[in-house]
Amino acid sequence: MGAIDTAVTDSPDATVDGEIVQTIEAVEEGDFLVLNGDSRTWEVTDVVDRPIEDPAYDRQSKRVLRLASRYATFGLELVEYPDCHEATIHVLETNDCFEGDQTYPVDTVQVLDQQVPWVVVGNGSTYHFPDPQAAAYGEAEPACGVGDEDDSFRITRINTVYPAYSGCRDCLRHAKPIEIPRVHCPKCNKAICHGMFQEVELAAVDGLSITCPRERCDFDGVVELDLKR
């Protein structure tokens, strides 16, 4: 279990930009986060918002997220000042002796998407993302590859199990599902496709190469994609 990949000084620069502020302000209990590109996936177990009206301090408000992983509990604190925001990660409980009682500045916050149309469920209390290759053959297998030969899985719509079931951390972290908006032919406007990308780096995707199936349309080229980044 590695430490958060951020060097810590006696006075770390904890100032964050507006994008990180908006991300933290939108986080809700039950969300799953990745902080600073670390290898762990954090579940948000509690969210507390508190205004600060003490004239002795220039702080205006504070939002605190309690985060849990398999072997640690961290706190993510966002503090608002008149001219900036600061975000810090506080180690509350950990089995890593090098992390104990440490505070880290926040570089990145990624909220993992749990809302996919179809999920794989078994007899437990966790849902998985479907393995796309298995799903193409009508088979129900988790994207993370977990499970024994005797395990029985089925594919169902997420609204039949969410939020009663929680998402598999490994699927949430590594499958990284990205919704593809409906793609239309730019020449005749025929709807071509829609769906999900899985295990794809968005920076590497600019568009889809399509050939319009409509007989009276001869479009054959690339359609740009507006993906949620």
Query: How far is 16 from 45, CA to CA, in rounded Å?
Result: 23
Percent of the chain with pLDDT over 90: 26
pLDDT at 28: 92
The residues pairing with 103 across neighbouring beta strands, listed in sequence order, are 90
pLDDT at 64: 95
pLDDT at 9: 38
Cβ proximity of 129 and 175 under 8 Å: yes
Cβ proximity of 127 and 166 under 8 Å: yes
Does the pLDDT value for residue 164 go beyond 50? yes
Does the pLDDT value for residue 208 go beyond 80? yes
Q: Give the predicted TM-score (pTM) of the model.
A: 0.64
Please return the burial class of 102, using the count of CB atoms within 10 Å of its CB with bins 0-12, 13-18 and 19+.
middle
The residues pairing with 210 across neighbouring beta strands, listed in sequence order, are 221
Least reliable range by pLDDT among 104-108, 140-144, 145-149, 155-159: 145-149
